[in-house]
């Protein structure tokens, strides 16, 4: 305690995604590397606010892809879950297709994706939809112009009852101390429970009792 009382503590803010992208773009231009905006966005988000980490990831990507970097190659290199998969989940929820949603979880596992990354990405996806639905704007959504357009189109028309009790559920799975198989089963059960409910009152009354 004596040592701590004589130390100064500095809490540095995380660097914004746009700032990281701007820096990486300048590096790519200087190194004569061709890289698309979606790839820069993926690298910046994976760096989680650290410019040094983003530059390290950028070096790894260049070693794997060469001087022409495309988002499709980047997804394969780092086994990143494609955004299309998250939009497929919400489409299944909208159409109340529980069977397809559960099958998608199996697809995630067969493709070798990390379940924690998938559930974290799914939670962020729900959060983006909620933000667009509530504010009518994509200003708070981190993504490329094309990605923001997709969220703008989907968020404004996404059924409001589905938002109730759902946005924080995926990340709760990452707090489970049991094994991977149990987390997969829990995610399938949640997909099944998310799909059928048709009205807000019914969903709120039932979701309050879900303790998976």
- CATH number, position 45: 1.10.8.60
Are 44 and 87 part of one and the same domain?
Answer: no
Whether 10 maps to a domain, the answer reads no
Domain boundaries, position 44: 17-78
Are 117 and 201 part of one and the same domain?
Answer: yes
Are 109 and 134 part of one and the same domain?
Answer: yes
DSSP 143: S
Are 47 and 152 part of one and the same domain?
Answer: no
pLDDT number for residue 203? 44
Rounded mean pLDDT of 178-195? 71
Are 54 and 123 part of one and the same domain?
Answer: no
Whether 2 maps to a domain, the answer reads no
- Cβ atoms of 117 and 140 within 8 Å: the answer is no
pLDDT number for residue 28? 93
The label of the residue with tokens 């924690």 reads: 116
Whether 157 maps to a domain, the answer reads yes
pLDDT number for residue 174? 53
Are 63 and 138 part of one and the same domain?
Answer: no
Are 101 and 170 part of one and the same domain?
Answer: yes
Are 149 and 197 part of one and the same domain?
Answer: yes
The label of the residue with tokens 């700032």 reads: 19
Are 119 and 199 part of one and the same domain?
Answer: yes
Q: What is the dihedral of CA 183, 185, 189, 195, to 10 degrees?
A: 90
Give the pLDDT confidence of 97-153 residue by residue, as tens digits.
888 888 888 888 888 888 888 888 888 888 888 888 888 888 888 887 888 888 888
**The total number of residues written for the chain in this structure:** 212
Question: Rounded to an integer, what distance in angstroms lies between the CA atom of residue 212 and that of residue 190?
Answer: 8
Model-level pTM?
A: 0.71
Q: What is the dihedral of CA 97, 99, 105, 110, to 10 degrees?
A: -130
22, pLDDT greater than 90 = yes
Closest CA to 119 of 197, 191, 40, 187: 187
- The percent of residues in the chain predicted with pLDDT above 70, rounded, is 78
**Picking from 85-89, 95-99, 103-107, 189-193, which range would have the lowest pLDDT averaged per residue?**
189-193
Whether 117 maps to a domain, the answer reads yes
Closest CA to 93 of 205, 197, 211, 186: 197
Rounded mean pLDDT of 17-28? 92
Helical H runs in the chain? Answer: 2-5, 17-30, 37-47, 51-65, 71-78, 83-94, 98-110, 115-135, 145-155, 160-163, 169-172, 180-194, 200-207
Are 93 and 39 part of one and the same domain?
Answer: no
Q: How high is the mean pLDDT of the chain?
A: 79
């Amino acid at each position: 305690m004596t040592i701590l009382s004589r130390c100064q503590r500095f809490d540095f803010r995380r660097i914004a995604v746009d700032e990281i992208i701007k820096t990486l773009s300048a590096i790519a231009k200087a190194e004569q590397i061709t890289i698309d905006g979606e790839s820069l966005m993926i690298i910046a988000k994976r760096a989680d606010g650290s410019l040094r980490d983003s530059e390290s990831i950028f070096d790894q990507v260049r070693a794997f892809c060469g001087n022409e970097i495309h988002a499709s190659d980047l997804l394969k290199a780092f086994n990143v879950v494609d955004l299309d998969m998250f939009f497929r989940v919400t489409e299944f929820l909208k159409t109340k297709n529980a069977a397809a949603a559960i099958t998608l979880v199996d697809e995630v596992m067969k493709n070798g994706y990390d379940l924690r990354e998938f559930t974290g990405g799914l939670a962020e996806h729900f959060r983006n939809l909620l933000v667009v639905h509530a504010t009518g704007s994509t200003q708070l959504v981190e993504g490329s112009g094309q990605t923001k357009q997709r969220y703008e189109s989907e968020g404004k028309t996404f059924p409001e009852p589905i938002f109730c009790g759902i946005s924080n559920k995926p990340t709760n799975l990452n707090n489970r101390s049991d094994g991977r198989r149990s987390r997969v089963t829990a995610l399938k059960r949640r997909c099944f429970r998310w799909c059928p409910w048709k009205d807000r009152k019914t969903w709120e009354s039932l979701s309050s009792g879900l303790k998976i």
